[in-house]
Amino acid sequence: MLRKADLRSTAVQKDWHLPAGSSSGSAHHMNTELFVLTYGALVAQLCKDLQNDEDINKELDNMGYNIGVRLIEDFLAHSDVRRCHSFYETVDVISKVAFKMYLGVVPNVICKDPAGDEYSLLLERNPLVNFLEDLPDNHSSLWYSNLLCGILRGALKMVNLATDVCFVQDRLKGDKETEIQIKFLRKLEGSKLMGHK
Amino acid sequence: MTTHPLRKTDPALQNTELFVLTYGALVAQLCKDLQNDEDINKELDNMGYNIGVRLIEDFLAHSDVRRCHSFYETVDVISKVAFKMYLGVVPNVICKDPAGDEYSLLLERNPLVNFLEDLPDNHSSLWYSNLLCGILRGALKMVNLATDVCFVQDRLKGDKETEIQIKFLRKLEGSKLMGHK
């Protein structure tokens, strides 16, 4: 299980596309706290409303999707990322730029299949669970951070990539790792936000 | 949402967007669950309170604030340090009574409503950002100040200003987090 005390200090990761003079670790960390606590309130509310973990997971994913389709614009506006030429590059940007920017962490990326269509993000540290020791009682099948999967799916949709994004492991559940799987399904028609920069 | 050229890669603003959108999802969920705006306002305030009693520790750990010697100083810190740190804005502080126990925070800009034009339909009495009031109340409780915090105006409702009123009620016993720094 994650221990709160372990989560605070992290080695400084190399900032990708963030200014060298940024107030760095501490500013990121503080803003994340308000988000983390609010996220906790959201999950708690859903646990009140829905009995079934599967329904909660689904609702978090849907909410995340609606957030992702809007957050992508903010992301593209505030980062220097160029158009990606492979799914690997896309996942790399997600890990090194997007996760860093919004959660202050950089997950490790591993490739799950030789065709290069499936990757996993391994979160050494998940800020969303900063204030949690365990899953809430009676919610052993909850993917607590499932909002993230929906966000990624929604954001990628807006850059014309249909993907499948889901948790496959979560330390909060007792698993060895916290792992989000991202699978490329197909390219989508239309230019939406592509071409930005 | 306007993109300020100098703040292109300001971490504070970027993190705020994810928080703002998640907050929107939270309010939307409450609007589904509760019919009455009064109940939603109350629920947001309660949730905010539970957040505030924990957020204060993070705030004190990451800011350089010293012990405040008057309620005015406290409100000043809330405006210039806390709001800045968590929402990237600095509300104006005005004093509402001569005894100095009541202040208002006037938000020129409220990041929580970045993605909103209007209140959701049928929710004309909703204090959309009411979580903030609970957060302030909970945080101040942990530094031994009992306060009353509430919205009195909201541009989202058509009011002229967005105004949070903070009223000092009394000092509380016990040292909780005071003495930090």
The dihedral built from the CA positions of residue B135, A68, A100 and A122, taken in this order, carries a sign that is positive
Residue A7 pLDDT: 37
Q: Which residues of A touch B29 (CB under 8 A)?
A: 42, 45-46, 49, 63
- Lowest-pLDDT choice from A8-17, A89-98, A146-155: A8-17
pTM of the model: 0.85
Between positions 54 and 113 of B, the ones with CB within 8 A of A are 54-55, 58-59, 62, 85-86
Select the residue of B9, B25, B54 nearest A18 (Cβ to Cβ).
B9
| pLDDT range class, residue A24, cuts 50, 70, 90 | very low
**pLDDT(B28) > 90:** yes
Query: Are the beta carbons of A101 and B14 separated by less than 8 Å?
Result: yes
**pLDDT(A30) > 60:** no
Q: Which residues of A touch B59 (CB under 8 A)?
A: 30
| pLDDT range class, residue B26, cuts 50, 70, 90 | very high
Percent helix, strand and coil across chain A, each rounded to 5? 45, 15, 40
Q: Which two tokens mark A40?
A: 């906790």
Q: What angle do CA B115, A129, A6 make, to 5 degrees?
A: 135
Residue B18: name the closest of A87, A49, A36, A105 by CA: A36
- Write out pLDDT tens, residues A46-58: 999 998 999 999 9
Distance separating alpha carbons of residues A184 and A117, to the nearest angstrom: 5
B62 vs A116, B128, B181, CA distance in Å? Answer: 42, 28, 11
Domains and CATH numbers, chain B: 12-114+127-171 (3.30.1380.20)
As a whole-number percent, the residues of chain B with pLDDT over 70 amount to 88
Query: Are the beta carbons of A32 and B15 separated by less than 8 Å?
Result: yes
**Nearest C-alpha of chain A: how many angstroms from B166?**
20
Q: How many residues does chain A have?
A: 197
As a whole-number percent, the residues of chain B with pLDDT over 90 amount to 75
Q: Are strands A118-122 and A108-111 parallel, antiparallel or unpaired?
A: antiparallel
What's the whole-number mean pLDDT along residues A75-88? 90
Angle of the A24-49 helix axis to the B37-62 helix axis, nearest 10: 150
- Write out pLDDT tens, residues A99-113: 999 999 999 999 999
- Write out pLDDT tens, residues B149-161: 999 999 999 999 9
Residue A151: name the closest of A111, A182, A178 by CA: A182
Instruction: Assess A22–B contact: CB distance below 8 Å, yes or no.
Output: yes
Residue A116 pLDDT: 81
Distance separating alpha carbons of residues B61 and B9, to the nearest angstrom: 24
Kindly provide the ipTM of the predicted complex, given to two decimals: 0.89
Which residue would you say has higher pLDDT here, A14 or B175? B175
Residue B66 pLDDT: 86
Which residue would you say has higher pLDDT here, B18 or A16? B18
Per the prediction, chain A carries an average pLDDT of: 84
**pLDDT(B118) > 90:** no
Which residue would you say has higher pLDDT here, B13 or B108? B108
